[in-house]
Every structure is written in structure tokens, then in C-alpha cells.
Structure 1
């Protein structure tokens, strides 16, 4: 692990890819559990990386962190060890399939709301080390609006809300958007509808949420895309291999690939503001203090 940490440090210092990265921060959340949020996050990150972008996934699902399980990796260190100053940010970065880098959160995020001023500053200093190291930092948060999830939604550049066509999932997806907005926070939301049996079902689900958000919250909620319902997904989970890796030609994998392409080439491709990581940390720290 020490060798890996040193290699990561050297990579940042040398900037071997010869281009300056303008790191963009994205939060992925859902109104309820069981909609495939973490699986979407992982495979979306892999699809972005396949297009030449460097991505780091930050597993911020308290108590139910499972990005590592979806890749069959058992991290020895997590955010907890960073917060306790036992390890640096580079020591807790692990690699999964196709060298996708990730940080395991686990119970560490519970400690975020109990940090001292000095510990908060250290956390910010460490995370800021990632600025310019990757193109995207994707936070996979817990389902529902916990205090910790709210912090990531508000602090990130944008938030992707994952839902399914099920009535309860639709209701809960809208509820999380409404709750954040009612608190006075301005957040750039985008919708992803997972497990659709046909494109019409996905469009109907997204339109339903978007229309209500426009009518009652005066919010425009664009749709990022749809992911087809696919038996290959559960097979990949059992194998602990991302479905875009295990079954690259499957309907779900093709859906993710199209969605990632739309993300990069469409309106969502607007460049992150300079200092996006610092802005994220500034908002996060204000919420923590």
C-alpha cells in the first residue's frame, strides 16, 4: 500500500498525462434504496474512464458502502483512517476494474459531523490534494436525505438522482429534490431512470418528476438518460464484476455507454469552474461547522 501511495503522489507531481485537469465533482443519490444507485455510479464511472477521463469514486454510503463489494475488492483502509490521521488521502485510494480508483467510506462518514475544527481543516487539506488529479470525483451517497447525504448534495457541482419507474421510487426521488430545495439550497439536479423496460417508460417517469418539480418548485430537472432492465446486471453482481465489464454488449451496458456519451457531449459537458474542489470543500466545511 505504501508503494501504491507513493506512486500516486509521484503521478500527481509529474502530471504524466501532460494536461491540466479541471476536477469536477458529482454526487449520485436516490430517494430510496434498491434502485441500483451504486451499480449505476460504478458503471457510469467506468464508462467515463473508457472515454479517456480519469475518475475517482468516493463511496459515501454510510453503513451500506458497497462499491468495493461490486468489484470484489477488500480495502484495508478507508475514510475512517484518514479522519483519524492514521493514513493520508493517497493511502486510502484503491484500484478496481480497469484501474478505476475509489475510496471506501464505510463508518468514517459518521465521524464527519463530530470533527473538531482542526480535524475539519485536515480533512479539507487532504481532499484538496485530489484537485487536478482526476477529471471527475463521483460521490456515491446513501439513499434518502440523511444529514451526511445532504452535505454532499449541496456541496457538489451537480447531483444525479437515480430512480426507477416504480411509484414509490418516483415519489421518493421527487421528495429528496423537494426537501433540498425547501431548505433554500440551489442544486443542479439531473435524472437517471434505471430498470426501464422500454424508452417510453423511462421518458414517462422522468417527465412525471420534471413536470411536478417545474409546477411546484419552479425547477427545471433535465433527464440525463435511461438504463434498460437487464438480467445481466444481477449476474454481474453475483460475480462481483461491474456489468459493463462482465457483459459489455448487454442492454444495460449499452444504456450506460449512451448515457455517458450524452453526459460528455451534451449540456452536462459544461466545464467545471476553476477551483471546483475548493468550492466543494468550502461548502462542505460550512455545513460541518
Structure 2
């Protein structure tokens, strides 16, 4: 009996150790927009919080080096940010901020313009540090700067998928299309999903998405599926002023319910999409393999 019990204990220990060695599949998602002022960062933050509320461990990486504001939207002060990582003053673990809401944040370092063109040495070090996050998160969201900068292109090309945030305004739609067209011309295999923010109703959101999808299919030979629409909601502005994410400040509001629907769709789609081996390691290899523009 003792021998049998010892054998069972060894089997359980072996299975536990094997389970611990299995890396968590981490989805790498870039969130971007063709122009500023469309609510991209606010979407990224609230989307991440809704994913967390649904049981997923999420890291929001503020990759907008020049105009980072995720920490401001959260009402927290980040002592360390991407600047300290790229200058090798802090490790990846030391710059992660653990928000009381449950998500983790890496601040981008507002106003530091010298890093806009990430030299290859910093890019290599960045990749090495990011690799250490493997197995710790279900989703890593890279909130990039608005418009088409060199680092934004790298994040889009390296990520498994990119969410483009637009509004129904003609200039926002035009700029979103221009961004996708430019990236597509450089990297053929990129994929995009669309979120229409500040729509007056679901009909306007679908109309906006259909218009953009039609042009993309005709001229870029790309399918641009609609991930979801976020309704225009006065609670969003109130929450920004309070420096509290709107899904926390006004969970019953129109915008919060829209974000929840988007999170559900995203999670349902992610279960049947990119395999684990193409997760974080794939992101790093693709980013480090990209030629400098």
C-alpha cells in the first residue's frame, strides 16, 4: 500500500510539474487609430478591465511614447515607465504597475521624444525583457500612438491582431483607412478588426463599419470585420474627469454594456484563432525580425 501511495504521489507531482511548465497562451493585441481624439486609449483601458472582469489576466502596455496617458485615465502615478526599461535602469517587472482594479499597466513615458525611433539595441533589449512575461498574462494590449509612426507599424506588424478604433466622423474614417492601407502595403499578412466609438446608435456603428469594409475589400483586398460599436455616452466624459474608468464608475451605462459585448465577442473568437506557439514568442521574433524603416 505504501509503495502504491508513493507511486500515486509521484504521479501527481509529475503531472503538477508538467502543468506548471505549460506556458499560458498569451494573446498579443495592438490597439491603434488613424488619428488622435477618437477615444483609443480609453477604449483600451476599459476593454482590458472588462476582460479582467471575465476572468482573464491582462497587461496594458502604453506604447504611445510621446503622449502616454493610460496611467492618467486610471488616476494613478507611475514612478517608472518604458523610458526606465529602455535605458536599462529598471527591469520589466519593476515598471509594471498593479492597479487596484486587477489589471497591470506599463506606462509609456510622456514627452520623451528621443525614443520615438527605437534604435536596434533598445529594440533587442525590449524584446528580451518582454519575453520574460511569457506565461504570466492571458492578454497583452499594446496601446499605440495615433497615426502612423515607425514604432506603431512595428507593433501592428508583430501583433497577432490589431484593433483599429475609429468614430463615424469622415476624417476619422479616412485616417483609419489610410493607416490600414499604408501598413498593408508594407506587410501583406496583417489583419485588422474595427471598433466604432461614439456612435449615436448601433445602426450608425454598422453603417460606418460597412463603409470602411467595402472600401478596404475593393482597394486593399482585405476583410475588416467589425468587433463592435461603443455608443456615445455622457458617462464616459464624467469618468475621465474623475480619472476612473467608465466600466467601473458607470457599469450600467451604455458604453460599459457595449464594451462588455465587445469583450465577449473577442474572447469567443480568440478561442478558435491563433495557436499558443504564435503568442508572445511569435510577437517577439516578428518584432525583432522586422527591418528598420
Among 99, 102, 105, the alignment partner of 1:99 is 102
268 and 74 in structure 1: CA distance in 2 versus 1, 3 angstrom threshold: same
After superposition, give the CA deviation of every residue in 1:16-55 in whole Å (9 maximum; x if it has no partner): 9998410110000000111000000000000111111100
Instruction: Tell me how far 1:158 sits from its aligned partner.
Output: 0.4
The TM-score with structure 1 as length reference comes to 0.89
Is residue 70 of structure 1 aligned with residue 73 of structure 2?
yes
Q: How does 1:162-173 map to 2 (within 5 A)?
A: 162-173=165-176
Instruction: Tell me how far 1:98 sits from its aligned partner.
Output: 1.3
Is residue 213 of structure 1 aligned with residue 216 of structure 2?
yes
In structure 2, list runs of 5 or more residues that go unmatched: 1-16
Instruction: Tell me how far 1:267 sits from its aligned partner.
Output: 6.4
Give the secondary-structure state (helix, strand or coil) at the position aligned to 1:123: helix
Q: How does 1:11-50 map to 2 (within 5 A)?
A: 20-50=23-53
Partner of 1:3 in structure 2? Answer: none
Q: How does 1:189-268 map to 2 (within 5 A)?
A: 189-266=192-269
277 and 263 in structure 1: CA distance in 2 versus 1, 3 angstrom threshold: same
Give the secondary-structure state (helix, strand or coil) at the position aligned to 2:152: helix
Is residue 115 of structure 1 aligned with residue 119 of structure 2?
yes
Instruction: Tell me how far 1:122 sits from its aligned partner.
Output: 2.7
Partner of 1:276 in structure 2? Answer: 279
57 and 165 in structure 1: CA distance in 2 versus 1, 3 angstrom threshold: same
Give the secondary-structure state (helix, strand or coil) at the position aligned to 2:101: helix
Give the secondary-structure state (helix, strand or coil) at the position aligned to 2:67: coil
121 and 15 in structure 1: CA distance in 2 versus 1, 3 angstrom threshold: farther
Among 142, 147, 155, the alignment partner of 2:145 is 142
- In structure 1, C-alpha distance between the alignment counterparts of 2:284 and 2:225, rounded to whole Å: 26
245 and 114 in structure 1: CA distance in 2 versus 1, 3 angstrom threshold: closer
The TM-score with structure 2 as length reference comes to 0.88
Instruction: Tell me how far 1:60 sits from its aligned partner.
Output: 0.7
Equivalent pair of 2:25/2:135 in contact (CA under 8 Å): yes
Give the secondary-structure state (helix, strand or coil) at the position aligned to 2:290: helix
Is residue 124 of structure 1 aligned with residue 130 of structure 2?
no
After superposition, give the CA deviation of every residue in 1:154-193 in whole Å (9 maximum; x if it has no partner): 1100000000000100111111111111224321100000
Instruction: Tell me how far 1:266 sits from its aligned partner.
Output: 3.4
Give the secondary-structure state (helix, strand or coil) at the position aligned to 2:223: coil
114 and 249 in structure 1: CA distance in 2 versus 1, 3 angstrom threshold: closer
Q: How many residues align?
A: 275
Partner of 1:11 in structure 2? Answer: none
Equivalent pair of 1:21/1:134 in contact (CA under 8 Å): yes
Equivalent pair of 1:164/1:194 in contact (CA under 8 Å): yes
Give the secondary-structure state (helix, strand or coil) at the position aligned to 1:191: strand
Instruction: Tell me how far 1:115 sits from its aligned partner.
Output: 3.1
Equivalent pair of 2:168/2:198 in contact (CA under 8 Å): yes
Give the secondary-structure state (helix, strand or coil) at the position aligned to 1:94: strand
After superposition, give the CA deviation of every residue in 1:197-216 in whole Å (9 maximum; x if it has no partner): 11110000000000000001
Partner of 2:183 in structure 1? Answer: 180
Give the secondary-structure state (helix, strand or coil) at the position aligned to 1:130: coil
